Structures are given as C-alpha cells and as structure tokens.
Structure 1
C-alpha cells in the first residue's frame, strides 16, 4: 500500500517541479514590476503624488497656488507646522515609503539566492520580508495621506500615486505567489521523502 502511494506521488513530482519553476519566475517578474513602479513613483515623479498646475504635493514638495504671486508657492517646514502638518509624521511617512524601495531593490537577489540554496526556511523569510514591505509601504502612504487629506481630493492624484497603488497590488500578488510556492515546495519535499 505504501509503495503504491509513493509511485503515485513520484508520477506527480514532475508537474510540481515545473509549477515550482514557473512560480519562481513569476515571483521574480512581480519583483521587477514592483521595482519599476516604485522607481517611477519615488524617483521619476520625485515622490509627488499630486502634480497639477495649481498644486504639487509629495514626500518632498508641498506647493500650493498663490493667487497674489500668480504661481506655485512651496511651503517650508515652519509653514507646514502652522497648517497642522506634523513634521515627524511627514518624515516617518517618507522614510517608510523609501525604505520599501530599498528593500525591493535587493529582494530579487535574495529570492534567487534562496531558490539556489533550496532552503525552505529562506522561503519563509522571503514571505516575511514581503509582508513587512507591504506593511511599511501601506503605513507610510497612510500617514502621508492622513497628514495631507485636507489639501488633496481623490481626483487630484496623478501617476505617482497610481504607481504606489500598483506597487501595493503587486506586493499582495507576490505574497500570494510566495505562499503557493512554499506550499508546492512542502508537497514536493514530502513526495521526495516518500
């Protein structure tokens, strides 16, 4: 009875290994998409979530239209504090979002190393890092939006904000893919031990 189960699991081993390789490639593709979206939002768009002719609001800019001067006026830290924006909260939001970019740059290298070393514990670490990146990015974006919600309407958001939303979606997809990959590795390991 045991040998029949083992033979059945060995026959199913090849498709599982192919699925594992496809999932690994999908994880790397999703990681590349995450890097591209983060670089677009935080470097190309300079962290600006709103970039309109009458206002530019982002992690480094807070500029509103000045009717008297007839141009955008960028506010300084003291002026932001008078408006009720907490500078520590603003800085922490910036650090969180840019930390996600740094983690994302090194993530594919770590994933490739874990895949080559065949370490199941390493895949758990990959999953934990993805969850941490999702929490850090969500927290930073949430703090920023909470601080600036009086001056931003939902229709004001431009490409930088949409790229960060896309990054959130890709991070969630990476978490799901890594979870499926980890389960496949577990089943493959059980089949090989049989």
Structure 2
C-alpha cells in the first residue's frame, strides 16, 4: 500500500511539473507515462481531470501513456480514464505492447491514439524472427483498421528502422532518431 501511494504521489508531481512548465516549451506535444496504480486511484484521476480542465483551450496536446500490463489489469478504470481524457481533447497511448498479453481485443473498446511495440520485438525483428515479423504486421493491420497508430520502440540502428519501414508502422522511437531531452531544455 505504501509503495502504491508513493507511485501515485510521484505521478502527481510529474504531471504538476509538466503542466506548470509547458508554456516555456516550443513543442506543445507532451507524453506522460502514468502507472496503473494512479489510474485506479479515483482521487488522482479527479485531480488530473480538474487540472486538464484548467488548461482547456491551450494548445497543449497531451498523450498519457500506460503500459499494456496496466491496461489489461485495469481495463475498466483505464477505459473510464481514457473517455475523460479524450473529452478534453487529449490522448491515450499503450506502451510496451506485446510485452504482456498481446491481446488485440481491448483495442476496439479503448481506442488509444497509438500503441508502442515493445523494444523486445525490435531486437527480434533485427535477428530475423518470423514470429516477430508476423506479430508486428498483424498488429499494424488490426490497429490501422481501428484508426490506431503503431510505433516501434527502441530503434537504435538503421537496419531496425528499415524493418519498421518495410512493415509500414506509423512511427518509431529510439536513439537513432533523438536522445531524450532534459526538462531544463526548451523543447
């Protein structure tokens, strides 16, 4: 219980910092990872909804990222959270897709803006895994039929990028494209 409380407090502090400083940034798109613990905490969800209402009308575009494991374990709470966030014009993304359950079924009810393929598949693709190739291709087909974007994680080499381009994913994330930036940087 103490660990859950600390994680929720940490998520709250991160969101506060982001929302209090975003006006200094050039890029108005922001991705914030939230823990499954925070999503099932009604107080935090209500607080977050109130904070988002206070910035309503700004040009800030927020993407809340939740791990696939958090989504599957808390599907009802995540679906409610997603609906509330989308009401205010923001987005949900599913992170580490394929690490846990790889259940395509919940994508229809949740309707995230995007799913990020877990970096383990990036490595497996590079090693020539036909299973990984089939998984990524199948996910892309299902996701695109639901108007969900697919992003490859952990892309560090040109060969990995080429594989994702061949599989026609919508985007990639990794050191090949850009290093993470410090909060003190003006995005």
TM-score scaled by length of structure 1? 0.23
Structure with the bigger RCO (C-alpha within 8 Å, sep 6+) is 1
- Answer 1 or 2: which has greater helix percent: 1
- Answer 1 or 2: which has greater strand percent: 2
TM-score scaled by length of structure 2? 0.23
In our comparison, the structure showing a higher alpha carbon Rg is 1
